[in-house]
Chains A and B, each alone.
Chain A
Amino acid sequence: MTTVPDTRKLAYIAGQASDARVNVEFESDGMVLNLGPQHPATHGTLRVIVKLDGERVTAAEPVMGYMHRGYEKLAEVRTYPQITTLVNRIDWLGSFANEVPFILAAERLMEVEAPPRAQWIRTVLFELSRIANVVLFLGDMGVQLGAVTPVFFAFRDREFVLNQIEAVTGGRFHPNFDRIGGLKDDIPKGWVDETRGVLDRIRTFCDEMEDLVTGNEIFQARTRGIGVIPADVGLSYGLSGANIRASGVDWDLRRDGGVGLVHDRLDWKVWTHPDGDSFSRYWVRLQEVREACIMVDQLLDGMPSGPIMAKVPRIIKVPAGEAYVETENPLGIMGFYVISKGDLVPYRVKIRSASFNNISITPWLLKGVYVPDVVSILASLYFILGDIDR
């Protein structure tokens, strides 16, 4: 066995590093600034290479993959019930919502349907994880713009939502609660009333954010007219969720998708905003948290009784076939394409996560803006690194 000298190894590492930069053509005028992968603005390890002329960005290139954990591959060697443990960790702020599309895809393959009560509780937890996720964004956007106070309010009130999720599932961050054919457990006694109290807190929090953040002149000056995404450009880049609704596209899979959740039996509204700028993305998310509170309220009112688990075999073998299910997750559309060969484990799982597509618009969007706006636009697109890299 031959040994490679250290200089050769170092040269190889340097070559690898420069490969990552290859997309940004280096020219002598202007400065190449590396935002990330370890940078206070990216809550995770996103790296954005920006080329600057003064403070103006002439080219921007997101570099992804620093947090790639290979979940699609790992899913191929795990049985179906084990995979929810993995997908929990994709969008780690709204974990339960990740499990839902996968479980629905598996249920479609097995041709089982969860009993009504399980579907309702699923929808409650789905919306609660949306609240837990987006509330943090509402505070975090302030931090990215330099106001540190809102994020503490966000963490404070998000804690109550997490407590409610924990009371049902036993897990604050990674519930791993959804099962093929239903849920692991029923909701505990007294939980419904407590949840209503929490919803009141969240509504108060939304009012506070409206005063503290959207009502602030500096916040408006920093976000209005900044990072405008026209509807057609947004659609062509595959944006989804609040990002595309903020551009005026009235498209929400909870209403239009018709998959196994009970949103269609509720009275609620899809919020859109015509502007498509950073401010409207914030505003739409703020309204969606309020809407989620309304939905959970209605769900708690009309929850049916009955079993929470359909009849499924103890050892789950999914019949051969393919299924693709996508749901409107907190960050946007999340889809699972599951191919089964009739085995204990799936043959292939393809995960379509929202943040990966949402972030892909950055080279187009960041051209010509100032450095401070790079941060505010990235923050307003709202990505979770685990959701980008999977």
Chain B
Amino acid sequence: MARMKFLCDAERCIECNACVTACKNEHEVPWGINRRRVVTIRDGEPGERSISMACMHCTDPPCAAVCPVDCFYQTAEGVVLHNKDLCIGCGYCFYACPFGAPQFPQTTNFGGRGKMDKCTFCAGGPEADGSPEEFQKYGRNRLAEGKLPLCAEMCSTRALMAGDGDVLADIYKERVVRRGYGSGAHGWATAYASRNRGDALAPGRVGTGGS
């Protein structure tokens, strides 16, 4: 069974926002909700790097640990999904998430944030696969159609990759060896740490070079 992950190669990401727009287009995500975003560090300075960030679908998701109504669940492929019918919009998951993934349609001070929304790895939600109800609440279910998340599929420079973690790690390793540098896959240590111990070239480890 594949273990689905995201990997963003900061040496390739050019902040073109194809991933962000593809996500909006595919799921009809409304204005103001950002399931995916591109973050740039050292903007305009030597060393500027960008990475595309969304829910990383952690191995041990902290959002699920803090949710008071237990609306999160993980699929057999490791995708972290949630049930909007259960969500009470408390926002705890937002505080727990190391990646700032959970999004809320409203911004009031006390409750009433509305149902949380986040990246589904294009895997929908608890409703029947491909049903209108599922689309309305979570967007399309590409995984059920045998397709991968559209953000990664459309990435202009193949910086953002989605798929089985082992395959991604192999692709990334090959790239780092070929080009002789790599700044690490941001977030891997945080999201999937337990799986990577002892592998010096694994994405997310410090010491893989970097330029």
Whether chain B is bound by chain A comes out as no
Interface residues, chain B, CB within 8 Å of chain A? none
Chain A: residues with CB nearer than 8 A to chain B?
none
